[in-house]
A = this chain, B = another copy of it.
Amino acid sequence: MAEFARRNETRYGNRPTMKDVAARAGVGLKTVSRVVNGEPGVTPDTERRVQEAIEALGFRRNDSARVLRKGRTASIGLVLEDLADPFYGPLSRAVEEVARAHGALLINGSSAEDPDREQELVLALCARRVDGLIVIPAGHDHRYLEPEIKAGVATVFVDRPAGRIDADAVLTDSYGGAREGVAHLIAHGHRSIGFIGDQPRIHTAAERLRGYRAAMADAGLPVDERWVSLGSTDPARVRAATEAMLSGTEPVTALFAGNNRVTVTAVRLLAGRDAPIALVGFDDIELADLLGITVIAQDAAALGRTAAERLFRRLDGVSEAPTRVELTTRLLARGSGEVPPPGA
């Protein structure tokens, strides 16, 4: 106890160590380690004495030291765009469940769609020596990760592919989903359809636009460039873009919303109008069923689960070439996408 009390009072609030437990129980350090880790080769009597010392001192193993010695942290990092976005909740939760099944903890952070912040976060996680990394990338150049991946940090990209490196990716088929959604509007008689999406540098936004153009081309319909608007999903921007498409000499009769935030703003705006405008949105939203909003739904939880499973397979030593998986979407027709154009 003398030594215990003498030690630096500030470090870890002065917690007892295995050495303290050993001294109190009158055994060697290694015996304490054996008991704490449930290793065999300790007589019941010795074990009891050690347990008593542990209880009395309030000892808890310092995993920082353990990690340093063992070289594995039993933790994985998850970098996403915004923890507060409802799309990422189920995704995070799914990753967490898989991590938990493998005895690993989750460290996570938001990049706020800023490539520098993404890199900063990723490298901080690498410095912590997370065993693996799941990244929803904000940036487009991930060469900064090359030394880390080479050094053994398993990495899986989700929702968007990595840029300029070859890495595992688990994506949603944005192109196919958007194409199906726009085709659905065309099938209901629309010929002038607006597309309002996220910033074009975001992979999913670009893919969805490509799907829109493909559907229009499939039907032999021309695309007036005033019908396409990409940019921030800030409500003011989306509102302005939508209003522009709905007015003017050749207004659109239908809208395709590129993601959940755009859909929400579009629905708010359309709710204040008399003439119905058809709407299909990418991503499902809570209560969208009650509002009758037709959407292209993607499975965020499956995205997270698939990515985490891939990650742990890599951590278990499976080494194969990086793969890209694309999950399919589902069209949920609820009314807003089945409104015919005026006069049809």
**Chain A residues at the B interface, C-beta cutoff of 8 Å:** 8, 10-15, 58, 60-65, 67-68, 71, 73, 75, 82-86, 88-90, 92-93, 96, 100, 105-110, 123-129, 147-148, 150-153, 264, 267-268, 271, 285-291, 301
Contacts and interface: CB of A to CB of B under 8 A. Distances in A.
A68 B68 contact: yes
Contacts of A82: 93
A123 B108 CA distance: 19
A62 B109 contact: no
A267 B289 CA distance: 11
How many copies of this chain are found per oligomer? 2
Contacts of A150: 13, 58
A86 B287 contact: no
Contact of A127 (B61, B89, B129): B61
A229 B75 CA distance: 41
A110 B90 CA distance: 12
A106 B289 CA distance: 35
A108 B93 CA distance: 10
Given A65-B68, A106-B107, A60 B96 contact: no
Contact of A268 (B10, B85, B290): B290
A151 B93 contact: no
Given A12-B71, A287-B291, A64 B129 contact: yes
A152 B60 CA distance: 13
Contacts of A152: 12-15
A126 B291 CA distance: 45
Contacts of A89: 83-86, 88-89
Contacts of A75: 107, 128
Nearest to A93: B84
Contacts of A12: 71, 129, 151-152
B93 A10 contact: no
A58 B267 contact: no
Contact of A286 (B67, B86, B153): B86
A151 B285 contact: no
A10 B151 CA distance: 10
Nearest to A87: B89
